[in-house]
């Protein structure tokens, strides 16, 4: 199966007052047709910047793509002009904060309809009918009455549904959702995750879910790509990665998160502070927080390699995965 989206050795740099920050540092991963991939990481891991690079919306002039390749359906997305007609149509994105992504002075129905008018040459009337259809599909109650409402008249969950409707308007083959439920209450989060997975099944599209929440994606993602300090540190089928973590960071995250029906014993946190991208250590970025770290880790950056005796596709970037696997097992 050839990948729909393929990111290779991606490198994104930002100029800051403190110097150049490498927000994404050689990240590689693939997304297959119809597949759901979770891009998981804490703040500063580079997960959102990776998505921005795919969408061509890395903030300029501070940010620039400094290396690597992104191909979609065997087309080079980074080549000048190549992405025209793909982004927004075949590749769509949903953001964390729907209020700042919607235009406050236009009616919601018109904003959704705009997609059809601009890209499909629909008439005003056709666009309105198509917008109404979409609003119904994403579960907005009394959709025909709400077509002429403004974004501020919608609740957070309903606004996110509007954003999803706009993203789906042109039947994309790849949907990237960047923390789509982070700003929402837990009961509304459940509604939106339910909607996204249902729509994905109906459309047969690929879904990239970017999140910091290990739990939100556990049930829905096929594979996980875990990032730390701009690098992919572990990847594989999600259950395999969660249950047989091969990277000490992944194992640490699993020990840090309280589980609703788990033990109430003391949590086992990851020691130390999140990485400062302006002064990353040599070798492995995680080593100051790692109990397996030795001189090799300081000298050599570990590559993302297949784990011994684990299923195909499970890879980790650690010099000592055997120790981690044994301790977790």
Partner 1 sequence: MSADTPLLSVRDLHTSFPLRSALLRRPVGQIQAVAGVSFDIPAGGTLGLVGESGSGKSTVARTIIGLEKPRSGSIVFDGEELTSLPKASMRRVRRQLQMIFQDPYASLNPRATVEQIISEAWEIHPDVVPRSRHRAEVRDLLERVGLNPDHAQRYPHQFSGGQRQRIGIARALALRPKLVICDEAVSALDVSVQAQVLNLLADLRRDLGLAYLFIAHDLSVVRHISDHVAVMYLGRVVETATQDELFQRPLHPYTQALLSAVPDPKPWDKPRREPIIIGGDVPSPADPPSGCRFRTRCWKAEDICAQEEPALQTRLDRHPAACHFATEPAGAAR
Choice between 127 and 158, CB closer to partner 1: 158
| Binding flag, residue 19, partner 1 (CB under 8 A) | no
Q: In angstroms, what is the minimal distance from the CB of 182 to partner 1?
A: 11
Per CB under 8 A, the segment of 9-17, 100-108, 256-264, 320-328 that binds partner 1 is 256-264
| Binding flag, residue 21, partner 1 (CB under 8 A) | no
Q: In angstroms, what is the minimal distance from the CB of 142 to partner 1?
A: 12
Choice between 100 and 273, CB closer to partner 1: 273
Per CB under 8 A, the segment of 26-34, 118-126, 165-173, 263-271 that binds partner 1 is 263-271
Q: In angstroms, what is the minimal distance from the CB of 257 to partner 1?
A: 5
Q: In angstroms, what is the minimal distance from the CB of 249 to partner 1?
A: 8
| Binding flag, residue 142, partner 1 (CB under 8 A) | no
| Binding flag, residue 213, partner 1 (CB under 8 A) | yes
| Binding flag, residue 269, partner 1 (CB under 8 A) | yes
Choice between 153 and 300, CB closer to partner 1: 153
| Binding flag, residue 42, partner 1 (CB under 8 A) | yes
SS (H, E, C) the chain: CCCCEEEEEEEEEEEECCEEEEEEEEEEEEECCCCEEEEECCCCCCHHHHHHHHHCCCCCCCEEEEEEEEEECCEECCCCCCCCCCECCCEEEECCCHHHHCCCCCCHHHHHHHHHHHHHCCCHHHHHHHHHHHHHHCCCCCHHHHCCCCHHHCCHHHHHHHHHHHHHCCCCCEEEEECCCCCCCHHHHHHHHHHHHHHHHHHCCEEEEEECCHHHHHCCCCEEEEEECCEEEEEEEHHHHHHCCCCHHHHHHHHHCCCCCCCCCCCCCCCCCCCCHHHCCCCCCCHHHCCCCCHHHHHCCCCCEECCCCCCCCEECCCCHHHHHHHHC
Choice between 161 and 315, CB closer to partner 1: 161
Q: In angstroms, what is the minimal distance from the CB of 87 to partner 1?
A: 30
Choice between 76 and 327, CB closer to partner 1: 327
Of 230, 252, 302, 321, the residue at the interface with partner 1 (CB under 8 A) is 252
| Binding flag, residue 239, partner 1 (CB under 8 A) | yes
Gap between the terminal Cα atoms of the chain: 31
Question: In the block, which residue shows the tokens 């395999």?
Answer: 240
Binding site for partner 1 (CB under 8 A): 42-43, 141, 155-158, 185-191, 193-194, 212-216, 218-219, 239, 242-243, 252-262, 264, 266-271, 273-274
């Amino acid at each position: 199966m050839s990948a729909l989206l393929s990111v290779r050795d991606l490198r994104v740099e930002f100029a800051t007052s403190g110097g150049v920050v490498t927000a994404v540092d050689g990240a590689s991963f693939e997304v297959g047709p119809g597949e759901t991939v979770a891009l998981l990481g804490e703040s500063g891991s580079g997960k959102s910047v990776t998505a921005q690079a795919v969408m061509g919306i890395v903030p300029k002039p501070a940010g620039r793509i400094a290396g690597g390749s992104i191909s979609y359906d065997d087309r080079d997305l980074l080549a000048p002009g190549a992405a025209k007609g793909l982004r927004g149509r075949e590749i769509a994105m949903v953001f964390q904060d729907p209020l700042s992504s919607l235009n406050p002075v236009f009616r919601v129905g018109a904003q959704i309809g705009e997609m059809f008018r601009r890209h499909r040459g629909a008439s005003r009337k056709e666009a309105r009918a198509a917008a109404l259809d979409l609003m119904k599909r994403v579960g907005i109650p009394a959709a025909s009455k709400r077509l002429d409402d403004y974004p501020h008249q919608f609740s957070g969950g309903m606004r996110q549904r509007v954003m999803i409707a706009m993203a789906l308007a042109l039947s994309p083959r790849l949907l990237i959702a960047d923390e789509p439920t982070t700003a929402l209450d837990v009961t509304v989060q459940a509604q939106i995750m339910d909607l996204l997975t249902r729509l994905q099944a109906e459309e047969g599209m690929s879904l990239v879910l970017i999140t910091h929440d290990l739990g939100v994606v556990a049930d829905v993602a096929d594979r996980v790509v875990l990032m730390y300090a701009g690098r992919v540190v572990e990847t594989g089928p999600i259950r395999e990665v969660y249950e047989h973590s091969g990277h000490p960071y992944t194992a640490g995250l699993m020990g840090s998160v309280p589980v609703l029906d788990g033990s109430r014993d003391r949590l086992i946190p990851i020691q130390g502070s999140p990485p400062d991208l302006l002064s990353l250590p040599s070798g492995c970025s995680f080593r100051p927080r790692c109990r397996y770290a030795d001189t090799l880790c300081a000298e050599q950056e570990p590559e993302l390699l297949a784990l011994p005796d684990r299923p195909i596709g499970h890879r980790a970037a650690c010099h000592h995965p055997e120790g981690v696997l044994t301790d977790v097992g």
